[in-house]
Structure 1
């Protein structure tokens, strides 16, 4: 969970900076910086869960291959 939180903070800073530089608006920069990283953080969390399941399935397949031999 710490990895997800630090990723969210970093993403917030990047999103705000890029949006502010493109628009010159603190309000728009703040709004985008809150919305976009929040959505990406949730997506990242589930992305990690899916990858863990994929890795676990691969490990189980490998283990079954060795035990069948």
Structure 2
């Protein structure tokens, strides 16, 4: 078993609120389904840290210059 697989197994046994403990609200946003991310207003997306914006746009297939 790899280190990543071991970590995944340990996380799988935790309740959701413990899995996300230590994440910022912006990082938690990355855990929601793409369908929910698509509903977020563009103004809200632009208010997020650049790294979070980039991850969301990459997941949704949008290029940064499209924003």
- Structure ranking higher in helix proportion: 1
Instruction: Find the structure with the greater CA-based Rg.
Output: 1
TM-score range, shorter chain: under 0.3
TM-score (norm 2): 0.25
